[in-house]
Amino acid sequence: MEKSYFEQREQNTLDKLKLVKQDLPVICNEFFVGIDSYTSPLTRLEYALDLRIFFDFLVKEIDYFVGMNIKTIGYDDLEHVDSLHIEMFLDYLSYYTFNGNEYKNTIKTKARKLSTIKSYFKFCYDKDRISRDPASKIKSPKIHEKPIVRFSQDEMTSFLDNVESGFGLTDRSKAFHNDLKERDIAIMTLFLGTGIRISELVGLNYQDVDFEHNSFRITRKGGNQAILYFNDEVKEALQNYISKRFENPKDDLDAPNAPLFLSLKNQRISVRNVQVLVKKYASVTTPLKKITPHKLRTTFGTNLYSDTNDIYIVAEVLGHKDVNTTKRHYAAISEQIKREATTHVNLRKKDEESQD
């Protein structure tokens, strides 16, 4: 039986993980076995990539490890890693070379890599493989929250109008626009009308959509499935696109795992394709704002919070496991709502109300 999009994606991730682990010390295998039951393949791959950079740093920059074969580094060798080395690693991440390529890391990326190092050494310490945890007392870099970037109501309207009309597109893009506009409108409307993640959108199959109940089934991070709902505007956009699909006699929408959204090559549209699409249309609408698929999701979340004033509903719809994640993203809107709420409280009756 043909694998679903998410099954194939997981298999590809596991294949990549297997390759990256070949560049790590053999002792790291115990770590990955230990975290297997409560982490996703993608999380484990990110851990492996971070650890690969860390051990590469050790054999390049730390005297004790210089010249060592990374594969043969053992638990006894980890006893020679101290907190200063980890702090040096964070500084090293500002600009470094790996496999002939140059990289720069932001504060946010450094914090994520430090989190990986902390998890690894804590695991080794808890398993009594090392006598001390050199990463335990290192503070994570302070990440300054960036302002929320999203569409205003007028910008959102203009954006959808531009997707429909093709306004501002290059001549090359306009050549394809008439054939693809129903698909592009459906994609953008689905983002703005449901807050769906880009991976969830790309993974949608035709059979996942239920027009009778205005709902569709998505696969969340970690593989859990959920049902989301859409309004009539989203329904119309999706139906117009699917009607266009039915005009093609070679397009078998009833096939198992038939993708909802196709590329020009009649294959499942990729994450990269969708990112390029959003950038193409958004750069015409708001050239000073860097709008990405995630910013369309943020626009939906902001609108939903403004309409409901309920952070728990927003968290549930967006699929945030921890409501604190939602609170951090929409704290500014929360403050605005609290400020506006105070205007409805009158300490004195108005003159006209106090007169008989």
- Mean pLDDT value of segment 64-90: 97
Query: Are 181 and 304 members of one domain?
Result: yes
Query: Are 161 and 267 members of one domain?
Result: yes
Q: 104-130 pLDDT, tens per residue?
A: 999 999 999 999 999 999 999 999 999
Structural domain contains residue 141: no
Structural domain contains residue 70: yes
Structural domain contains residue 142: no
Query: Are 89 and 158 members of one domain?
Result: no
Supply the range of the domain harboring residue 221: 153-341
Q: Using an 8 Å Cβ cutoff, are 6 and 217 in contact?
A: no
DSSP 8-class letter at 253: T
Query: Are 166 and 114 members of one domain?
Result: no
User: What pLDDT shows up at residue 2?
Assistant: 72
Q: For the chain, what's the residue count?
A: 356
| Residue 325 in tokens | 């994640």
Structural domain contains residue 356: no
CA distance from start to end of the chain: 81
Residue 224 has pLDDT above 60, yes or no: yes
3-state secondary structure of 218: strand
* CATH code, 197: 1.10.443.10
Q: Using an 8 Å Cβ cutoff, are 126 and 160 in contact?
A: no
User: What pLDDT shows up at residue 331?
Assistant: 58
9: left (phi over 0), alpha (psi -120 to 50) or beta: alpha
- Start-end of H helices in the chain: 5-21, 28-35, 41-61, 75-78, 83-92, 107-126, 153-165, 171-194, 198-202, 232-246, 271-285, 293-308, 311-318, 323-329, 331-342, 351-354
Whole-angstrom distance, CA of residue 270 vs CA of residue 228? 21
Query: Are 184 and 294 members of one domain?
Result: yes
| Residue 303 in tokens | 């609108």
Beta bridge partners of residue 219, listed in sequence order: 225
Beta bridge partners of residue 259, listed in sequence order: 205
How much is the mean pLDDT over the chain? Answer: 90
Q: 155-213 pLDDT, tens per residue?
A: 999 999 999 999 999 898 888 898 999 999 999 999 999 999 999 999 999 999 999 99
- SS3 letters across 217-256: EEECHHHCEEEEECCHHHHHHHHHHHHHHHCCCCCCCCCC
Residue 341 has pLDDT above 70, yes or no: no
Residue 50 has pLDDT above 60, yes or no: yes
Structural domain contains residue 223: yes
Structural domain contains residue 22: yes
The per-residue DSSP string of 169-182 comes to --HHHHHHHHHHHH
| Residue 154 in tokens | 């007028």
Residue 45 has pLDDT above 70, yes or no: yes
Please give the share of the chain, as a percent, with pLDDT higher than 70: 92
Query: Are 186 and 328 members of one domain?
Result: yes
Query: Are 59 and 168 members of one domain?
Result: no
Interior angle at CA 196, CA 256 and CA 48, nearest 5? 85
| Least confident interval from 47-56, 119-128, 147-156 | 147-156
Structural domain contains residue 347: no
Whole-angstrom distance, CA of residue 169 vs CA of residue 284? 8
* Total domains in the fold of the chain: 2
Which domain-ending residue is among 81, 111, 126? 126
Residue 41 has pLDDT above 60, yes or no: yes
Query: Are 82 and 227 members of one domain?
Result: no
Whole-angstrom distance, CA of residue 12 vs CA of residue 193? 31
Structural domain contains residue 55: yes
Query: Are 64 and 213 members of one domain?
Result: no
| Residue 249 in tokens | 């006699």
Query: Are 87 and 159 members of one domain?
Result: no
Residue 300 has pLDDT above 60, yes or no: yes
Query: Are 200 and 119 members of one domain?
Result: no
Beta strands in 69-136 (DSSP E): 96-98, 101-103
- Mean pLDDT value of segment 318-340: 70
Query: Are 80 and 161 members of one domain?
Result: no
